[in-house]
Amino acid sequence: MEADGDERLRRLWEGRWVVSRAWIVRYTGAAESTVARWYAERGRRPEHPQHPEPVCTVGRTIYFDQQAVEAFWAAWQEDVGTAQLGSGRRPGDGQGTRGGGPGREQRERAVEVALDALRRAGGHRRGLAAELAREHGGVDRSWQRAVNEARVVYEREQSAEPGTSP
């Protein structure tokens, strides 16, 4: 994959190319949540290839060695046996509740509640989803999804230049 000029995706660090999670999402075609899961589970699933460790952090963006990411992805495809992510899942549009429907309105409310909590706290903190589940009812995992969506919005707001809208 070529550099697209956006240093938030790919940059040169100490003589080697490093890439962000957003770059990994583009490169693999995996969802952001899948890439986050690969990273979170890197030490818990020895039977699968391990996601590389971070090389550096610039601002709030974590970067990984590009060659290590490419090797991980090749090994993952070989281990899983297919280059098609999501194989074996029920057919759908791949957009979850983004396409509308009765669940989207409830999700949007949950994301707004989570975003408000992130703004009040000045960012993410461990246990936020469980706290929101206790306070507002519902399942921890559903609140975790809402917090993850809200974090994307919150981080976009934080990275926007002052005086501009995100």
Query: Please, what's the largest Cα pairwise distance for the chain?
Result: 50
Q: Is the pTM of this model over 0.75?
A: no
> Quick one: pLDDT at residue 80?
67
Are 68 and 125 in the same domain? no
Helix (H) or strand (E) run with residue 63 in it: strand 61-65
Boundary of a domain, candidates 31, 51, 80: 80
> Quick one: pLDDT at residue 2?
43
Whole-number Å distance between alpha carbons of 162 and 18: 28
Structure tokens at 85: 């992510």
Structural domain count of the chain? 2
> Quick one: pLDDT at residue 64?
95
Residue 2 lies in a domain: no
Task: Divide the 166 residues of the chain into consecutive groups of 10 and give the mean pLDDT of each group.
Answer: 64 93 90 89 78 92 94 82 48 51 76 92 89 85 88 86 57
Cα-Cα-Cα-Cα dihedral sign, residues 26, 98, 83, 75: positive
Residue 58 lies in a domain: yes
> Quick one: pLDDT at residue 163?
60
C-alpha angle 9/156/35, rounded to 5°? 50
Residue 4 lies in a domain: no
> Quick one: pLDDT at residue 24?
93
Are 138 and 76 in the same domain? no
Whole-number Å distance between alpha carbons of 155 and 166: 10
Residue at token pair 């926007």 = 160
Domain hosting residue 115, numbered range: 97-159
> Quick one: pLDDT at residue 86?
47
